[in-house]
Structure 1
Amino acid sequence: MPSPSRDKPDRRRGRPPASQAGQFDERILLVATSLFLERGFGRTTLDLVAQHAEVGKSSLYARYPSKGDLFAAVVSLSIQTMFDHMAPVPQGLNLGQRLQAVGEALIDGMLHPRCVAFMRITAAEADNFPDLALMAYQVSFDGSVAYVLKGLRAANHGAADPALIKLAQRFVELAVQPLSFQAAFGIDHAQLRMRSSQCVQDAIELLQEKIAVANEGQAIT
């Protein structure tokens, strides 16, 4: 994602009309994403975002009263965008093959440089903004679990069997999180991708008993 130009003038604008509100918010989040990734949390300010996004400060502060609020919106959007662009769960596969596919897809998404960068930023700010760090973790974890549930083909994702949800949660914890955490600490991404298939296989083997229970309960097909 290109960095915002440092030479853009500070054009102060009033509140945008309702018809342009979506574009207004999109511009703010796009610019804020670039600034947070380029400068980190500490060196990014709301005034700087307003300047580069060419929006009025009052309109920006009305939407995001604090830098933490803006950063939370940026992280949530980044995570949601990752899940929106993930490939559909493959069809015509048995349960083990579906888990293998969704596990490798999740790891690939989590190893995207932007995801790793935001993980590092939120971890670095965890002491100062614990709620923000927890939010970022929870959004990522919940999204991963929801994607696994799609792979498990739960009949009703919103009211999935508790045992099925626990299976999906443990799968994410065993197959996905270890590699994403290692990426945050600087382990080479190519090396981690090479290990992803085996890590997912290992997680499936460890969860064989839970998978069998879920199958017997007809929670998944």
Structure 2
Amino acid sequence: MTAPHDQAERNSPPSTDGRAIEAQGPLCSVRRGRPSLEEAQRLPARILEAGWEVLRDQGFDAFTFDRVARHAHIGKATIYARFPGKREFLEALLLHKVEERRMSIMAIGHGRPLVEAFCLRAAAVIEILLSPDGVMMERLVDWCDQEFGDGEINYRHAMFDDALANIETELREAAQEAGAAIDDFPLAARFWLEGILGHARLSGGARCYDQTQTEAWARRYSEFFFAGIKG
């Protein structure tokens, strides 16, 4: 099964990239040239965010580089210079959103006591998973697995393994700071993650999200989890 519009986009010549026009003083002179280093460094993330907004607003079947280019206000050639095709773009988008989500979660509870920090993160993860963006992320993972996955690549398993590695690292660091004894860090990380994912599935979707109930569950879960793994 091939991604809609992908073959057509590969066969069509990229459009010419536009030039920035900048007004300088009363004469409104035009400056032509390459973007600044700072602009060039921000551009891939800007393109990916535009792609995310196209997916969110128009769906996967309507996703094309033409729409992304219009949304980002750039030429299509600029996208092709960084992402040769739809697979490369969506893979990069998935990695971008995973890292963005990881950084936002890890910033929560920084400097707080062990149980408190993990309680806050558990509540945040549930909220993110059940949010419209979280649901969209699940669809993106399923799309990548359906369209591009094979015997060697499974995007959902890769995300799960990456999350486990990050949680294990956090547990090791937090346990060392708090003086907590954990005999099996990989197993503890798996129990922690599977408990959160299980609660998210049982919650039944974004329409069932209740912040007060989620925060209460996160506190009970965190206290129960760390009480159970104390040596």
Tell me the TM-score range normalised by the shorter chain: 0.5 to 0.7
- Match for 2:186 among 152, 156, 165? 165
Which residue does 2:18 correspond to in 1? 13
Pair 1:34 & 2:53 matched: yes
SS in 1 for 2:49: helix
Which residue does 1:49 correspond to in 2? 68
- Match for 1:150 among 153, 165, 170? 170
Give the alignment's TM-score, normalised by structure 1: 0.67
Which residue does 1:135 correspond to in 2? 155
Q: Which runs of 4+ in 1 moved over 6 A?
A: none
Pick closer, same or farther for the CA change 1:127–1:65 going to 2, 3 Å. same
Pick closer, same or farther for the CA change 1:121–1:180 going to 2, 3 Å. farther
Larger Rg: 2
- Following superposition, the deviation at residue 22 of structure 1 comes to 1.5
Distance in 1 between the 2:224 and 2:71 partners?
50
Pick closer, same or farther for the CA change 1:142–1:89 going to 2, 3 Å. farther
Amino acid at match of 1:21: A
Pairing 1:70-219 to 2, within 5 Å after superposition? 70-86=89-105, 87-89=107-109, 91=111, 93=113, 95-124=114-143, 126-130=145-149, 134-135=154-155, 138-139=158-159, 142-143=162-163, 146-147=166-167, 149-150=169-170, 153-155=174-176, 163-174=184-195, 176-182=196-202, 186=205, 188-191=207-210, 194-195=213-214, 197-198=216-217, 201-202=220-221, 205=224, 209=228, 211-212=229-230, 216=231
- Following superposition, the deviation at residue 100 of structure 1 comes to 2.8
- Following superposition, the deviation at residue 203 of structure 1 comes to 7.1
Identity across the alignment (%): 19
Distance in 2 between the 1:193 and 1:65 partners?
45
Distance in 2 between the 1:34 and 1:170 partners?
34
Pick closer, same or farther for the CA change 1:187–1:25 going to 2, 3 Å. closer
Pick closer, same or farther for the CA change 1:203–1:97 going to 2, 3 Å. closer
- Following superposition, the deviation at residue 89 of structure 1 comes to 2.6
Write out per-residue CA displacement over residues 53-100 of structure 1, whole angstroms, 9 at most, x where no aligned residue.
23333331231112122122222222322232334335453x544443
Amino acid at match of 1:89: G
Distance in 2 between the 1:83 and 1:194 partners?
23
| Unaligned 5+ runs, structure 2 | 1-14, 20-32
Distance in 2 between the 1:199 and 1:136 partners?
24
Q: How many pairs align?
A: 196
SS in 1 for 2:142: helix
Amino acid at match of 1:134: N
Distance in 2 between the 1:79 and 1:126 partners?
15
Distance in 1 between the 2:209 and 2:111 partners?
27
Give the alignment's TM-score, normalised by structure 2: 0.64
